[in-house]
Chain A
């Protein structure tokens, strides 16, 4: 949210030092099962970090362990250079914004924001004045005497933010902060969160299961799968060069293809898939062996699609053929889903290209791409694991 330049940061409980978060071999068990296992992660000071993954992947558990609402079964958590295990949230310099906002229903907006100061024994006049200043910063001072139940979702979220920020944290922890808002507000608040983080310069850790949200906000995206980190990098790298088939599928925007390595030469591997189509890929750092399987990813928007005549034979490298299953208009591009017989292949065709010779359901088509647009995955794809959620992409 836009914060007037003149507004000074509250001095109450100012935390010195770095908001760098370091998790070392962190494991959390609930009963007999692991919520997260051997997590090693460093979130740089002052960065916007998104923990991304489907429900149950352990992202919220990590957030709650950083906040001090959950204690790891083993491992260490540092903020700055201090070990935080066993410390209370306020001692950690963290503040958490809950998914439900958890505004106290019996207190006015002003008293909700002043709660932290009240717990510290700050006098009524002083704490109300400070809380009012904080409410001005989120532009809600005109609602200070309302009860939380009278506010809209967006307003409640601003109050929750103000209530967290009054603790002057080094680290702000956000638990699915945008999930309770409608689409319009979600985009608006997304922008406001990002500019707030820029303004404050503190570390934000944001848990979400929505890929576009993570890409739009984060300096660092941490993609999680059932209790482990699959990849942690900038949004651009995660989207463009996913490390594993899981990340490629989860982030969307990629087609994952698997074949057997036929030959290797000059850093290029030639693959052949079960249908006989051949692909070329730069092996890079990956150790490829002839005869072993390998998976590659091709971005959906780097693929050429053309209609194919029934008697045409597929011969070229980096080509695949199938029948159009559906087309979905997305405004600037058209999402064309091609049925390969043994799987689906998605091509995002720009609208200008698409309408030159539009394909429709049932058309026989050929998709082709260049070797430069192929990206090698470090693991062999084990299939889409019958999980519709993973294949659901923007």
Chain B
């Protein structure tokens, strides 16, 4: 050890970790940025860099399809499905979260049963769902079998978030409301839901994006009409034009909007709570 005082120069580990983090960020966003740039490819229709004669022609191709698949139709199925999954995930997670606040017999078993579906491979679950539906004489459809398959994926996440949020909720709030004459329903409506609302938005966000982006669990469960991720997959095998990139850019954009709206509303609520009106 040297006797001279140290004024906090950075250790070598800082540079190693900073490099690692930079690589991580490049891997995280690099592909997305590459797709975004190439979606503006010109009439050369080249699938690789460099970008020549930038244009919007492939976005136009997307919405007025000549050679690509039914992108608009797929979007019109994916969006309602994602919204439906979002609402059901919030509803079920929140009510289940309330139930689990009181420890009841078998609570742990039920919790693990709900969470265990996360470890089942999506493709296997897809096959299983289809086989079961066939056996029951029902046809696979995006709003039946695919909805169920998506819920099996989104619900465990929603439950985990809601358990964490409600677990942190001080029971004194509910007792104080009860002390002030609130009925059970008033306690939920006037106190608990407003307090955990940011958590509910987080659950909604997970419900939406997990369904909107889901491929393996959609694969055999959507029936004859594709959702967006399946449509993209089909296009990778059939379509060899930058329209593929344009589609990637548009779907990513939709996801970003949803995340931005969710985060903005959480921040707004928190700000209101700590800075007043």
Contacts and interface: CB of A to CB of B under 8 A. Distances in A.
Interface string B208-237: 000000000000000000000000000000
A170 interface: no
Contacts of B173: 102, 104
A67 B274 CA distance: 31
A108 B177 CA distance: 15
A96 interface: yes
A13 B272 CA distance: 32
Nearest to B170: A100
A68 B178 CA distance: 9
Given A100-B170, A102-B175, A90 B180 contact: yes
Interface residues of A, number: 31
A118 interface: yes
Interface residues of B, number: 25
A116 B181 contact: yes
Contacts of A118: 190
Contacts of A119: 177, 180-183, 186, 190
Interface stretch (A34-42, A144-152, A216-224): A144-152
A106 B195 contact: yes
A45 to B, nearest CB: 21
B174 to A, nearest CB: 9
B179 interface: yes
A272 interface: no
A88 interface: yes
B224 to A, nearest CB: 47
Contacts of B197: 106
**Chain B interface mostly:** helix
Contact of A150 (B182, B186, B276): B276
A145 B277 contact: yes
Nearest to B272: A147
Nearest to A90: B181
Contact of A115 (B177, B269, B273, B274): B177
A188 B59 CA distance: 70
Interface of B: 170, 172-173, 175-183, 186, 190-191, 194-195, 197, 269, 272-277
Contacts of A149: 273-274
Given A89-B179, A100-B172, A147-B275, 9 more contacts: A89-B181, A94-B179, A95-B179, A105-B195, A108-B277, A115-B177, A119-B182, A119-B190, A164-B179
B199 to A, nearest CB: 13
Contacts of A120: 181
Interface string A79-115: 0000000001110001110111010111110000001
A207 to B, nearest CB: 14
A90 B170 CA distance: 21
A105 B178 contact: no
A328 B191 CA distance: 50
19 contacts: A69-B179, A89-B180, A90-B179, A94-B179, A95-B180, A96-B176, A98-B172, A98-B176, A102-B172, A104-B173, A104-B176, A104-B191, A106-B269, A115-B177, A116-B181, A119-B182, A120-B181, A149-B273, A167-B181
A96 B180 CA distance: 9
Contacts of A163: 176, 180
